Amino acid sequence: MKIITKSDTSRRRIAAVGMYDGVHTGHKFLIDYLRLEADSRKLTPAVITFSRHPLSVVRPLETPGLLTSLEDRLLRLGNAGVEDIVILTFNDRLRYKSAREFLNMLHKSFGIDTLVLGFNNRFGHDRPKTLEEYRAIGKEVGVEVIPAPEYRGAASPVSSSVIRHHLLTGNPEKAAEALGYPYGLRGIVTSGQKLGRTIGFPTANLNVGDKNILIPKPGVYAAYVITPDGKRRQAMVNIGFRPTVSETEGQGEISIEAHIFDYTGYLYDEEVTVELISFLRPEKHFSSTEKLREQLERDTQSAKKALS
């Protein structure tokens, strides 16, 4: 896989443009079609993506949480069979390019001879409305524009925004169905309050680090934790504001705490990934540590059942 961040015309390429957040099943369908066309045309399959979400420039207050970091996105794109990835910095200069200017840049700076226009995909400040308009513009600058077929492989619509909705409403199963894999949060294990340890439920406190990553609906989840040894271990995870036995609920920064079943390893300062499988319950406030312990016992049984 070749990562391209500046002008590179060493290959003749066929490409598709998009954010590719999550690299979900719809994206993979598009990439499969891109690769088929690349083979038939003797071109290199490439994607054009962005280092940050376009809404962070266009409408910053509406910028969504991301399903994948840039690093994870590139890895998943490579695993999907993309050979070249062009990363553009989305800024005002790029934002205000017309469709013609954008296509001309792709052709002259990155060797794009053919562009696959995804279903319902549009680009350019002038936002042409039809495939015929894009084709006419492309012909002027030396780029053939072809349509991708509509993805019909799922019972419900697949998009990054739909997946975010599933996660924010406590439905990781639906999110995983659309993604093609369980939604995960990756980060470093840091020292926490150690309350769980005192009642028999030690937790690994995850610092995601990347503040742009989407944090799903607060609550308790059945989950898997991928530890540094590469093993996928059963766990339950609490996402919330630690409303356990404190006097105030919903205060402070959100926390992600994973209790890994039957695990005694040392994880501080190690990187782990938490895969959310099933939403068990909303976060609660407890009047005592004993009430909390009793609930965690019930949560353990619920999580193990969900993971069995």
Per-residue model confidence as pLDDT tens digits over 103-118: 999 999 999 999 999 8
Domains observed in the chain: 8-147 (3.40.50.620), 182-307 (2.40.30.30)
Distance CA 220, CA 76 (A): 28
Higher pLDDT, 209 or 223: 223
What are the tokens at 172? 């990781």
* Average pLDDT in the chain: 93
Residue 217, pLDDT > 90, answer: yes
- In 36-194, DSSP assigns E strands to 44-50, 84-88, 112-117, 144-147, 183-190
Per-residue model confidence as pLDDT tens digits over 225-258: 999 999 999 999 999 976 555 545 545 678 999 9
The string of DSSP letters for 5-43 reads -S---SS-EEEEE---TT--HHHHHHHHHHHHHHHHHT-
Compute the residue count for the chain.
308
Region 51-59: what's the mean pLDDT? 95
Q: What is the pLDDT of residue 246?
A: 53
Of 224, 236, 214, 232, the closest CA to residue 281 belongs to 236
